[in-house]
Amino acid sequence: MNVYCDDGSTTIKLAWNDNGKICKSLSQNSFRHGWKVDGLGIRQTFNYELDGKKYTYDEVSNQSILTTHIEYQYTDVNLLAVHHALLNSGLAPQPVSLTVTLPISEFYTKECQKNELNIQRKIENLMRPIRLNKGDVFTIEHVDVMPESLPAVFSRLVV
C-alpha cells in the first residue's frame, strides 16, 4: 500500500487510495521521553521503543519534545510521529511504501540541485525499526522523498 505523508513538525497528514476513494488522516505530534502507565483513562496508551530509548505519546505533557526545528526531519520524534499517525489512521498495521516531504531548503542545495545526502538521511531515518509496547506496527518497506509544497500542486502539474 502507498501512503502519502506530509510529516510536518506539528501535525502529520496522511492520504491513501482505498479502492478509488482518497482517505485522509491527521495526527498531532506530542511525544516525551519515558513511558506512560498503561490502562489509565479511556484512550489507548502508545509507548514506543526506538534504538533502546523509550518514548510515549502524550498530548498534554509539558515535557513534550520540541519539533519545530529543521533537524526534526531526521530525528527519532519524526519517525515516532509517522508511525503514530499510521497507527491512528484506521489502517491495520501492514507493509507500506511512503512518499514524504522535506522542506525546500533541505531538499535542494544552494546550487538548486537535489541534496542527495539529506534525502538519504530522511529515508534512513524512516526505515529504522520501531516497537510499540503491546502492539503491532507498520513495516515501512520503501520511502520516496519530495520537496515540500510540490505534492500540493502535483495533480495540477500532471493533468
The CB density around residue 135, as the number of other CB atoms within 10 Å, is 13
Of 15, 5, 130, 23, the closest CA to residue 73 belongs to: 5
The 10s digit of each residue's pLDDT in 60-94 is 777 888 888 889 999 999 999 999 999 999 999 99
Cell 499517525, located at residue: 85
- Domain 2-27+68-158 coded CATH 3.30.420.40: yes
β-strand 21-28 against 11-18: which pairing, if any? antiparallel
Distance between CA 106 and CA 115 in Å, rounded? 7
Of 79, 72, 93, 74, the closest CA to residue 130 belongs to: 79
52 within 8 A of 32, measured Cβ to Cβ: no
Backbone angles phi, psi at 54, to 5 degrees: -105, 140
The 10s digit of each residue's pLDDT in 115-141 is 999 999 999 999 999 999 999 999 999
Of 24, 28, 5, 1, the closest CA to residue 125 belongs to: 5
pLDDT band at 59 (very low <50, low <70, confident <90, very high): confident
Domain ranges of the chain: 2-27+68-158
What sign for the dihedral angle of Cα 149, 152, 153, 159?
positive
15 within 8 A of 29, measured Cβ to Cβ: no
pTM of the model: 0.89
